[in-house]
Amino acid sequence: MVKQMKEKLIIGDDLGGTTTKLAVLKQTGEIINKWEIPTDVSSEGRNIICDIAKSINQKIVELDITNGDILGIGLGAPGPVNLENGVIYEAVNLGWQDKYPLQQLLEEATAISTIIDNDANCAALGEMWKGAGNGAKDLICITLGTGVGGGIIANGDIIHGINGAGGEIGHVTSVSVGGAPCNCGKTGCLETIASATGIVRLARGKLQNRQVDSKLHHSLIHKGKITAKDVFDAASEGDLIANDVVNEVAKYLGLALANVATIFNPEKIVLGGGVSKAGDTLLKPVKEYFEKFVFNRVAQSTKLTIATLGNDAGVVGAAWLVLKK
Amino acid sequence: MVKQMKEKLIIGDDLGGTTTKLAVLKQTGEIINKWEIPTDVSSEGRNIICDIAKSINQKIVELDITNGDILGIGLGAPGPVNLENGVIYEAVNLGWQDKYPLQQLLEEATAISTIIDNDANCAALGEMWKGAGNGAKDLICITLGTGVGGGIIANGDIIHGINGAGGEIGHVTSVSVGGAPCNCGKTGCLETIASATGIVRLARGKLQNRQVDSKLHHSLIHKGKITAKDVFDAASEGDLIANDVVNEVAKYLGLALANVATIFNPEKIVLGGGVSKAGDTLLKPVKEYFEKFVFNRVAQSTKLTIATLGNDAGVVGAAWLVLKK
């Protein structure tokens, strides 16, 4: 069936530190097949390219098509990328040495033309193309997961910056004095507050410091841990400490988004990642702080919304790279 | 002499609330003639366009050239602009009603093709083209004057945003609790701290609250007022209160610039406007805070520097609009 299609297909690849998501897409952005493989970070990540290439080759056989039916591979990588030569500057989570020639190696292993970009940028492109962005040419996408990633599209193009570090909204300094340490080496980054990890850290701190009865205490005692989801669940049921945590997260996230929006005046700011699944429990207070802190003309025109593509945003945006190329 | 040139000339116009700067430029960006006229904001600004057109027509006669020798007029206007139709959304300082069709009216009055943009954006384009930007395609220009303006160039294009409010770095919220009121209606904007007005406000506050002997006290008593220049002059001579003010300005400005740079990773951030004439007295402490608060990869690649075009940045950038068109 696929073989009879005249239009070439695209392969989208979202390379993560634990799992690599892959998809075969039409040029309309429609996913016709998607799958996942584990990312093998042993041996300094030497098997990663091979595993991806093998998996793509198997899928091509399985779909009864040939390399000639593929327009190209787009890949989102977890680190800053040099667009001109397809090198990933650093990829701490994968074990690769600095300036790893990712694009070239994947092209050699698959014999298919390949293009790469940063994963948060791909998520933003995915949401722009087929998700909550709805074609907006000025769009910011924030991924609230284990960390906080950002992708910024202005005038229809991704902001990469001079050293591949454009869009690092997670490392905006939110707490200038006495902030928590961040993995990046600084303190007080937005990521230390608005990531799943940051939310749990805030909740643990407040549980220690306040002797109010809270569902979160029970979670901690019964499960031995709490998650960001526990915090949002408890908050939506009126738990005092949980609401206190959500309010603090919303205050710093609302302020950071207001400042980013005041600088860009994008059409939309799209919140994605696991933490965004809290929906209105998070979005409502974030909107209140956003409106308080944002420049008036921006408040009139920039909309805050939740991502709609979920885990597919990365592969869809990676596929878009191939079309844009 | 001019008449013998084969290459057409450009007129650059920097329309301010008090003075309108004008220049005739070569297509290389070289200014061959520049002059100023007062901006007449009486009668709801109805004379402004006429005054500019008359002045341009006189200059054309004076230079012994014709309209046909002019490639176009570029104009920087003090307000958010709609690029597509050449309308200025609002220009509070000029008295114009909202959505004033500036481009069309100036074209009709001069019979010369005209293009407009926001004045802070023009200053950024001027610095990019012929000033401290030195051709950088990712550049942020901050004008520290009576207010704080910003122009952002990413991928070689100005960031306008969806409602013309892109680049409003002066209205980033720097003080989230208890900040001073800003003209925009918010409180705690960067403009309330890092503008000339903000610096004087901070100095007056510190003079009231501290009984340390300070040169600024003498300025206030003898001249009846202090200026931002007085503060920087006193600081460079070791005055305690003046240094305290400069440190506070540098802290908030350094933090705001670090956060903007973390988001954009521009090649350069260029500080212009009257306050930037303080040079190293301002730049040195700003750099220290910038480096403390900025993301590591950005610290390695984004440079802070002082503008070099001075008052010419606006007319040069406005001329660039004509070439880009």
Backbone φ and ψ for B32, nearest 5 degrees, come out as -105, -15
User: Which residues on A lie below 8 Å from B265 (Cβ)?
Assistant: 159-166, 168
**Among chain A residues, CA nearest to B136:** A162
The enclosing H or E element of A143 equals: strand A139-144
Angle (CA) A203 B176 A184, round 5°: 55
Per-residue pLDDT 10s for chain A (325 aa) are 455 556 999 999 999 988 999 999 999 999 999 999 999 999 999 999 999 999 999 999 999 999 999 999 999 999 899 988 999 998 878 989 999 999 999 999 999 999 999 999 999 999 999 999 888 889 999 999 989 999 999 988 899 999 888 999 999 999 999 999 998 999 999 999 999 999 999 999 999 887 778 889 888 888 989 999 999 999 999 999 999 999 999 999 999 999 999 999 999 999 999 999 999 999 999 999 999 999 999 999 999 999 999 889 999 999 999 998 7
Question: What is the rounded CA–CA span in Å between residue B12 and residue B24?
Answer: 6
Shortest CA gap B108–chain A (Å): 29
Buried b (16+ CB within 10 A) or exposed e, A236-253: beebbbbbbbbebbbbbb
For chain B positions 127-146, those within 8 Å of chain A (CB to CB) are 136, 138
**pLDDT value for B4:** 53
What does the block give as tokens for A226? 């709490």
Q: Which pLDDT band, with edges at 50, 70 and 90, does B221 fall under?
A: confident
What does the block give as tokens for B306? 């002082």
Maximum Cα–Cα distance across chain B? 67
Question: What is the rounded CA–CA span in Å between residue A176 and residue A190?
Answer: 11
The bridge status of strand B268-272 relative to strand A303-306 is unpaired
For residue range A25-76, what is the model confidence (pLDDT) as tens digits? Answer: 999 999 999 999 999 999 999 999 999 999 999 999 999 999 999 999 999 9
User: Which residues on B lie below 8 Å from A260 (Cβ)?
Assistant: 263
Question: What is the rounded CA–CA span in Å between residue A207 and residue A242?
Answer: 9
ipTM computed for the complex = 0.90
Cβ proximity of A177 and B307 under 8 Å: no
Domains belonging to chain A, first-starting first, are: 2-125+313-324 (3.30.420.40), 132-308 (3.30.420.40)
Question: What is the rounded CA–CA span in Å between residue A319 and residue A33?
Answer: 13
**Among chain B residues, CA nearest to A297:** B165
Backbone φ and ψ for A150, nearest 5 degrees, come out as -145, 145
Residues 6+ apart with CB under 8 A from A287: A254, A304
Kindly determine whether residue A172 and residue B263, on different chains, have CB atoms separated by under 8 Å.
yes
The bridge status of strand A19-25 relative to strand A9-15 is antiparallel
**pLDDT value for B5:** 52
Nearest CB among A263, A296, A302 relative to B185 is that of: A296
**Among chain B residues, CA nearest to A81:** B297
For residue range A84-121, what is the model confidence (pLDDT) as tens digits? Answer: 899 999 887 898 999 999 999 999 999 999 999 999 99
